[in-house]
Amino acid sequence: MKIGRKIRWSYWIILVIVFSVIAVSFQIFSERYLLNQARKDLRSDASSVSEVLSNVPIKKEAVRLRVVEKRMETAGQLLGSRILVRDKQKQVIFTNLTEKEAASFQQKQDQYVAETLPIYNKKSVIKGYVTLITKVENIQALKTIMRKTQMIGWVIAAIAAILMGLYLERSITLPIQKLRSHMQQFQIKGTYRPLNLTSKDEIADLAESFSGLAEKIKQYDRQQKDFLQNASHELKTPLMGIQGNAEGIMDGVIEGEEVKQSLETIIAESQRLKKIVEELSLLLMLENVEEIYHFKEIRLVTLLEQVVTSLRPVGENKGIHIFVKDGPDVKMMADADRIKQALHNILGNALRYAESEITISWSTKSRWLILSVEDDGKGLVNGTEQEVFERFYKGNNGGTGIGLAISKVIIEAHGGTVSAQNTNTRGAVFILSLPMI
């Protein structure tokens, strides 16, 4: 069932329930209320009659004249009430009841509502009684009038509610229909125009979220295309070297000592090609396989010692010294092998561009570890601070162009961030932020 129909049926069901509850409540409480109100009105009218007759002798003609004079026989006329005046011996002095009504009242008192009050003289002695009587059916008639009035009100309210429901249904479903049509027309190729809805509700938020998702999909598609283009270019270069040297040897163009050099070139390019493929496979696995990470508690100092120890011989061969400054003893939940790999790639990159030294330092801020790797090389080309982490981006002395991309994926998988910038003096600094325990 479509959402518009669900809204319509839900709205109508609520209306039916509300009207039913009102109807049942009216049926149960209205008669009781009207009976109580009738008794209250009759008592009030009887009190007025008693007060008027307090200064009148309880005799038939005097009572009749007084009642007629004050028009008391019309008291409670909405309920069709009747008056019965009796003396203190309870003999009837005056009544506007017919004989038939009087007989019915005596025999079927449950069909009547009556209120009786005493009549006092000046000395506060009871000298008679006044009774106001009305039929229950008169109350039922009033109840019927009220019910009919209520029904008319219900019909008007129902029509207004249905019109309002249709308006609300349209105001809700129309933006949804626009969003559905917009989503169905979405294509990865071509330009994308976001859907702007005038409504300021959850549907507009959903449209905005879809626009953001669509932009991410298109961006991911562009990244994949760039990745394939760069990968094909990087793989093509060593393959051409291998193919050229192999064909030269086979065709006899390369002979003698040159054959050995060509074979060495083939081996070197094969190793380079192997390294590119391995790093590409690793990068794809790190990006798409969550189970590859195995987190446990590690100490930063121990981790840095292992990484620096493995790279220090490379630095010494190039005349580059790696300094590790003292810092706080930091523990964190991480995959030790992956973090070492990320640091290894960042330090390896620093070794390519440093001139004499690399400095590693760290500090803590709140519950974050801030680790810096700084070299004294020529620094980054302005505007490339973010590009260095893209796949296949290589500087003048770069390697495969995948190492820093791998480091970024690993750091982000640990809930951290990595950035690069030039120092105030010379060289570049890579800053890693990782959560601590």
pLDDT in tens, 313-323: 999 999 999 99
Mean pLDDT, residues 391-420 taken together: 84
Between 37 and 271, where is the model more confident? 271
pLDDT tens column, 98-150: 888 888 877 887 778 888 899 888 888 888 898 888 887 776 666 666 667 76
Task: Look over the chain and give the mean of its residue pLDDT values, rounded to a whole number.
Answer: 81
Q: How confident is the model at residue 312 (pLDDT cuts 50, 70, 90)?
A: very high
Which top CATH class is 293-435? alpha beta
**Beta partners for 84?**
95, 131
Task: Write down the pLDDT at residue 354.
Answer: 92
Mean pLDDT, residues 74-88 taken together: 67
Note the Cα 111 to chain centre separation in Å. Answer: 61
| Cα–Cα distance measured from residue 234 to residue 226, given in angstroms and rounded to the nearest whole number | 12
Between 298 and 68, where is the model more confident? 298
Packing angle, helices 257-288 and 202-251, rounded to 10: 160
How does strand 357-365 pair with strand 331-334? unpaired
Length of the chain: 437
Mean pLDDT, residues 61-68 taken together: 71
pLDDT above 90 for 373: yes
How would you write 143-171 as a 3-class SS string? HHHHHHHHHHHHHHHHHHHHHHHHHHHHH
Q: What value does the CA radius of gyration of the chain take, rounded to a whole number of Å? A: 49
Percent of the chain with pLDDT over 90: 23
According to CATH, where is 1.10.287.130 located in the chain?
Answer: 202-288
Q: How confident is the model at residue 78 (pLDDT cuts 50, 70, 90)?
A: very low
CATH code of the domain occupying 202-288: 1.10.287.130
| Cα–Cα distance measured from residue 200 to residue 86, given in angstroms and rounded to the nearest whole number | 75
Task: Write down the pLDDT at residue 121.
Answer: 85
Task: Write down the pLDDT at residue 289.
Answer: 64
According to CATH, where is 3.30.565.10 located in the chain?
Answer: 293-435
Task: Write down the pLDDT at residue 324.
Answer: 93
**Tokens 């270069």, residue?**
237
Mean pLDDT, residues 370-378 taken together: 93
**Tokens 């973010």, residue?**
386
According to CATH, where is 3.30.450.20 located in the chain?
Answer: 3-156
Torsions phi, psi for 264 (to 5 deg): -65, -40
Q: How confident is the model at residue 326 (pLDDT cuts 50, 70, 90)?
A: very high
Q: How confident is the model at residue 375 (pLDDT cuts 50, 70, 90)?
A: very high
Between CA 114 and CA 122, with CA 116 as vertex, the angle to 5 degrees is: 160
Instruction: Report helix, strand or coil for 374.
Output: strand
pLDDT above 50 for 75: no
| Cα–Cα distance measured from residue 430 to residue 347, given in angstroms and rounded to the nearest whole number | 9
Longest Cα separation, the chain = 158
Q: Which of 79-83, 135-139, 276-280, 377-381 has the highest mean pLDDT?
A: 377-381
| Cα–Cα distance measured from residue 434 to residue 358, given in angstroms and rounded to the nearest whole number | 21
Q: How confident is the model at residue 434 (pLDDT cuts 50, 70, 90)?
A: very high
Q: How confident is the model at residue 74 (pLDDT cuts 50, 70, 90)?
A: very low
pLDDT above 90 for 246: no
Q: Which of 23-32, 69-78, 247-256, 342-351 has the highest mean pLDDT?
A: 342-351
Q: What is the identity of the amino acid at 352? A: R
CATH code of the domain occupying 3-156: 3.30.450.20
